[in-house]
Amino acid sequence: MSDTAAFPTRSSQRASRRPLQAPQALRTLLRSPLGMLGLAWLVVIVVASLTAPLWLPYPIEYQDFSAVLAGPSAAHLLGTDELGRDVLSRIFAAGAGSLITTFLAAVVAIGVALPLALIAAASSARIETIINRVTEIAMSIPALVIIIAVIGAVGTNLYLVMTCLGLLIAGGIYRVFVGQAKSLQSQLYVDAAEVDGLRPAMVSIRHILPNMATTIFVQFVLVFAIGLMLQAGLAFIGFGPQPPEPSWGGLIQSASKQIYVHPWLMVPTGLVLVFTVLGANAVADTLAGGQGAPPSQVALGPEARRRRRELKAAAPVAVESAPEGMLIVKGLTIGVDDGPELVSSVSFEVAPGTVLGVVGESGCGKTLTALSLVGLLPPGVNPREGSIRWGARDLARLDESGLAAIRGREIGFVGQEPMRALDPMFTIGYQLAGAVRRLRGVGKADARAEAASLLGKVGIVDAERVLRSYPHQISGGMAQRVAIALALAGRPKLLIADEPTTALDVTVQAEILSLLRGLVAETGMSMVMVTHDFGVVADICDEVVVMYAGQVIESGTVHDVLGAAEHPYTTALLAADPHAGLGVVGQERLASIPGQVPQPRDWPTGCRFADRCAFAQPQCVVPVPLIARDRGDGGVRCVRVHELQLGRLDDPVPLDAATPVDGGADPTAPTTAAAPARNGKVRS
Amino acid sequence: MTAETLNAADVYAGIGDAPPPVLEIEDLVVRYGRGRAALAAPPAVDRVSLSIQPGETVGLVGESGSGKTTIGRAVLGLERVTSGSIRFNGRDVTNLSAKERRALGGDLRAVFQDPYSSLNPRLTIGSSLAEPLRIAGVTAADAAARAGAMLESVGLPADAAARYPRQFSGGQRQRIAVARALITNPSLVICDEPVSALDLSTQAQVLNLLADLRAERKLSYLFIAHDIGVVGFLAQRVVVLYRGQVMESGPAANVTTAPVHPFTQALTAASPVPRPAEQAARRAAREASGVKTAGNADFAGVGCPFAARCPLATELCRTERPPLRAVGGSLAACHYAEEAAARPIA
């Protein structure tokens, strides 16, 4: 379409030459040794076959009667057949025909399946159903029978045979394509294009097709492999090209006749065929699986254990056990193996019966910190330094079996997405009772009763009905209650909650927070609450640590940190919260922080917030220690904290007394900090 | 109940001298699915009317399943309207075809929630931005120039046009999405949760950007969000939805600080503020208010959808759907709005 051709602007053409989009797949391929090997083999075979007439040592029908059925020699590198013909020459002479006809099958299969899939995905449910039924019929036809019938009717015209094969395979390929096309069709950028009035055909070409490139290629390669096997099979049973014209199947057929006399003859052709099919599959596998697949856990298991051992050996910290029920994290540093640091020297304590809030923006390391407390860091991410004291043990150095003994029993965990804590295949009763049995060692009947009482504890009224339900039958709020009940099954003394209410409606969030507060008061357990919401911190936490770019930048009681924040980041973040102004009407601008949280590899050695800080000065480029708060207990990581006194100016200002300050104000004037927190009229 | 009594714009703007609204939704009903089962369930959007004046921002607030996103999608033509009408600048845009929508010439645009799926990963930013202009017949060179200028006005360097979405952070992508929406100089932008996927500091940047652009370009927004704090910042008027129905609508100040509908009261009371002492008082008030849990509040489609959770609900609420009527400075769909308004709330 002329529209598409005209679309790329000059700048985008320039950009597309950079190694970005399609080469991404290629890079995946290059990184995998197996995929690389497969690709190299395919390239060699294709090039060698297509150029065969130029380099073949012998004409294909040349017979060397002095060497019939000979093994490899200098004259005949792969030996000769029963007529004294050079095997190497025959394999590659046969290659071109085999490859081209197989290629045809793949082109036909993709060429039929892809447009059908695009049309089905873009059309109404009725048209999609019609296309589905038609392809199902095609899929139900036994391909080999049809092909043999075609050969019987019109003779061995390989082009026709492979076209037939392509058509018959297209049904299956369509299934793969339509699934992806439909999921792409539901992307918001497709909606945006539809709002613009882009024609449906153009939506498919511009927004769906390019994103399917990898799948298309993978399917192409797979069909190619199937076609090759089928063609060899046909030739083997005598439906291939008639002798003397060489074909891979024909070569194998003649080799099989000599199998007892001269087994070698089978080896070269067989290997070429097997390697070509394996090569195609390896390329397809790499491309299909390489996208966003997590690193192999099997490979990382021993590696992670080794690193834990190293940490154990490297830093034999004084074994100072924490008091019962107390969590003491000291200097905890977490990093990617052979990669950047993600959490830098984090320290905090959680006393029994208290709630600690860990608050910050995404990418600040708060979730990793929480996960490390239960030994659930993702593969390839490990603690590097520091300690996590829980009773007499150090969780940073504990092995998997030690962690497993603590997880669920002493320390519970609740994640952001409650549905992920529940297996969709089993009823809630089965899962909850199972957890109770495992963690408390009670019998089946007792476990069921205990599961019901746990659900009652988390505020579920009709426990029996919920126990019988499957996870998809309950609401998100209900699922989070169940997840909390699961976490409580082992009567933990500490509950780690990672954004437990972020995915919930605000009225449900209030209910869950009330529930958690009640549980803490009732059971005396302590809690670490990870959140990005200062409102949640104000609601439920006693103490809080504010994290920024992997560091704790401010800590203290909730009253001090939220009421009289001393770090410029905390004050700025509080000012940016639209809820701070809930009830303040006619606010024209929110205070905002320029830029964004830096990536771990870009963390500066000095203050990590300096780039975005309104108060940054030359002295901020040196590493900043956590120093005592100006007022109250806790720490602040800012060299200018005593000079700025952000906290002092904040609290006495009445709600509407603060005058707006212009963006050009002297950043050293302390009033700029007070104003954004209360009125919000600062720079953007 | 007629459409006139529902039309909030008339109440505030005064009938007659008000300019014609940019958007007028009347008695909108959207049902999902077909067949008897779909008809038995309450519709996703149930007789919703609202209007937006030129230069005005109307906030649409509600929890998940309230139908707020569906209303936005119906206006954009992405959801089939079952009944009711949508008029945009005086023109009926209910269930338009792609061709008819093209004829709107980019006057009605959208910013979506997820900055990661709202830009095609295979297209450069410049190409994505130019698309609506190219559809409208602008030449490639002009479109590229306007894309560069638009990127600068949302605070990104013009050379961002040559890059791909994955080279930008969530906040930057949302700026790009705003740029893409505004490049055709629309009069109305549907913002569907445009900041809910963003962190606090970037959220504030994008909200300020939307406020600035509105002032510069005399834009109207239909601002859809679950967060009443975010809506209260940007909107002049707020419409509160529950289970597809309008519960309350009125000036933002009224709805966010002095709500008269028990659901709006529950919603504002549940939104935590970052001040511990104040939050403790709000929590106590909320817990005392007697709002029942959302967990066992099924709604069969009869009466007030909030009745199962409402502390003031009576038999009347469970059998008769309350009409929207003026209470204080707002409109509320509640039989007992006066009683609710008189209650002390957080």
Segments of chain A scoring below 70 in pLDDT: 1-25, 243-244, 289-319, 580-588, 648-684
Count CA within 13 A, CB hemisphere, residue A519: 30
Bridge partners for B66 per DSSP: none
- Please state, in angstroms and rounded to a whole number, the distance separating the CA atoms of residues A479 and A503: 11
- Please state, in angstroms and rounded to a whole number, the distance separating the CA atoms of residues A386 and A329: 8
- Please state, in angstroms and rounded to a whole number, the distance separating the CA atoms of residues A476 and A419: 8
Does A509 contact B270 at a Cβ distance shorter than 8 Å? yes
The residue with greater pLDDT, B119 or A630, is B119
Strand A627-628 to A635-636 pairing: antiparallel
Count of CB atoms situated within 10 Å of the CB of A563:
19
Residue B191: the pLDDT is 95
Bridge partners for B25 per DSSP: B50, B86
| Cβ atoms A536, A509 nearer than 8 A | yes
Chain A contacts of B124, Cβ < 8 Å?
Answer: 8-9, 11-12, 15-16
**Distance in angstroms between the alpha carbons of the first and the last residue of chain A:** 44
| Cβ atoms B117, A187 nearer than 8 A | yes
Domain boundaries, chain A: 21-61+77-290, 304-533, 549-581+588-678
Domains A21-61+77-290 and A549-581+588-678 share a fold: no
Chain A contacts of B132, Cβ < 8 Å?
Answer: 196
The interface residues of chain A toward chain B in range 503-532, judged by CB-CB distance below 8 A, are: 505-511, 513-514, 532
**A-to-B residue pairs, Cβ atoms closer than 8 angstroms:** 263
Measured in whole angstroms, the distance separating CA A635 from the mean position of its chain's CA atoms is 36
| Cβ atoms A661, A577 nearer than 8 A | no
What is the sign of the dihedral through the CA atoms of A160, A165, A171 and A177? negative
Measured in whole angstroms, the distance separating CA A342 from the mean position of its chain's CA atoms is 18
Beta strands in B141-231 (DSSP E): 188-192, 220-225
Does A191 contact B256 at a Cβ distance shorter than 8 Å? no
Block residue for tokens 């950079």: A18
Strand B188-192 to B220-225 pairing: parallel
Fold of A21-61+77-290: MetI-like fold (1.10.3720)
Burial A160-187 (b: 16+ CB within 10 A, else e): bbbbbbbbbbbbbbbebbbebbeebbeb
**Which of A582, A602, A650 has the most B C-beta neighbours within 10 Å, making it the best mutation to test the interface with B?**
A582
Q: Which CATH superfamily is domain A549-581+588-678 in?
A: P-loop containing nucleotide triphosphate hydrolases (3.40.50.300)
What single-letter DSSP state applies at residue A440?
H
What single-letter DSSP state applies at residue A528?
E
Bridge partners for A157 per DSSP: none
CB-based contact, A539 to chain B, within 8 Å: yes
Does A507 contact B199 at a Cβ distance shorter than 8 Å? no
**Distance in angstroms between the alpha carbons of the first and the last residue of chain B:** 32
Strand A543-548 to B83-88 pairing: unpaired
A361 vs B110, B199, B230: nearest CB: B199
Å from B97 to nearest chain A CA?
A: 8
- Rounded to whole angstroms, the maximal C-alpha distance in chain A is 109
A667 burial class (0-12, 13-18, 19+ CB within 10 angstroms)?
Answer: middle
Q: Which CATH superfamily is domain B3-107+184-342 in?
A: P-loop containing nucleotide triphosphate hydrolases (3.40.50.300)
Chain A contacts of B233, Cβ < 8 Å?
Answer: 578, 581, 587, 590
Cα–Cα nearest to B7, from B168, B301, B264, B239:
B239
Bridge partners for B250 per DSSP: B238
pLDDT in tens, A225-243: 999 888 888 888 878 777 6
CATH class of the domain whose range is A304-533: alpha beta
Block residue for tokens 């929890």: B63
- Please state, in angstroms and rounded to a whole number, the distance separating the CA atoms of residues B283 and A507: 11
Does A10 contact B293 at a Cβ distance shorter than 8 Å? no
| Cβ atoms A550, A341 nearer than 8 A | yes
Contacts of A584 (CB under 8 A, 6+ apart): A655, A680
Q: What is the dihedral of CA B273, B279, B285, B287, to 10 degrees?
A: 90
- Please state, in angstroms and rounded to a whole number, the distance separating the CA atoms of residues B269 and B250: 18
- Please state, in angstroms and rounded to a whole number, the distance separating the CA atoms of residues B135 and A479: 45
| Cβ atoms A124, A182 nearer than 8 A | no
A210 burial class (0-12, 13-18, 19+ CB within 10 angstroms)?
Answer: middle
Instruction: Check whether B336 has a pLDDT greater than 90.
Output: yes
Burial A406-444 (b: 16+ CB within 10 A, else e): bbbbbbbbbbbbbbebbeeeebbbbbbbbbbbebeeeee
Chain B contacts of A536, Cβ < 8 Å?
Answer: 272
Residue A309: the pLDDT is 56
Q: In what order do the strands lie in the sheet with B45-52?
A: B45-52, B23-30, B83-88, B91-92
CB-based contact, A124 to chain B, within 8 Å: no
Angle at A340 between CA A335 and CA A341, to 5 degrees: 45
- Please state, in angstroms and rounded to a whole number, the distance separating the CA atoms of residues B234 and A581: 12
Bridge partners for A551 per DSSP: A548
Cα–Cα nearest to A596, from A362, A365, A369:
A362
A319 burial class (0-12, 13-18, 19+ CB within 10 angstroms)?
Answer: exposed
The residue with greater pLDDT, B193 or B5, is B193
Chain B contacts of A461, Cβ < 8 Å?
Answer: 295-296
Question: DSSP string covering A127-190, please?
Answer: HHHHHHHHHHHHHHS-HHHHHHHHHHHH---HHHHHHHHHHHHHHHHHHHHHHHHHHHHTSHHH
Cα–Cα nearest to A269, from A279, A259, A255, A282:
A255
What single-letter DSSP state applies at residue A207?
I
Residue A582: the pLDDT is 52
Residue B169: the pLDDT is 85
Block residue for tokens 């109440």: B11
Block residue for tokens 């792609």: B98
Count of CB atoms situated within 10 Å of the CB of A127:
12
pTM to 2 decimals? 0.80
Å from B27 to nearest chain A CA?
A: 22
Tokens of B143: 């479109």
Contacts of A63 (CB under 8 A, 6+ apart): A83, A84, A85
Tokens of B150: 């638009």
CB-based contact, A459 to chain B, within 8 Å: yes
Domain boundaries, chain B: 3-107+184-342, 118-182
Angle between helix A476-488 and helix A444-457 axes, rounded to 10 deg:
130
Angle at A486 between CA A481 and CA A487, to 5 degrees: 95
Cα–Cα nearest to A162, from A62, A170, A181, A641:
A170
| Cβ atoms A614, A684 nearer than 8 A | no
Burial A367-384 (b: 16+ CB within 10 A, else e): bbbbbbbbbebebbbbbb
Does B127 contact A508 at a Cβ distance shorter than 8 Å? no
Count of CB atoms situated within 10 Å of the CB of B225:
26
B329 burial class (0-12, 13-18, 19+ CB within 10 angstroms)?
Answer: middle
Sequence letter at residue A592: S
**Which of B70, B159, B200, B289 has the most A C-beta neighbours within 10 Å, making it the best mutation to test the interface with A?**
B200
CB-based contact, A601 to chain B, within 8 Å: no
Residue B222: the pLDDT is 96
Tokens of A476: 């998100």
Give the CA distances from residue B152 to residues B109, B145, B148, B149, in Å, rounded to whole numbers and listed in that order.
19, 11, 6, 5
pLDDT in tens, A285-312: 887 765 434 444 444 455 555 555 566 5
Tokens of A19: 């190694």
**Closest Cα in chain B to A465:** B296
Average pLDDT over residues B264-289: 89
**Percent of chain B residues topping a pLDDT of 70:** 92
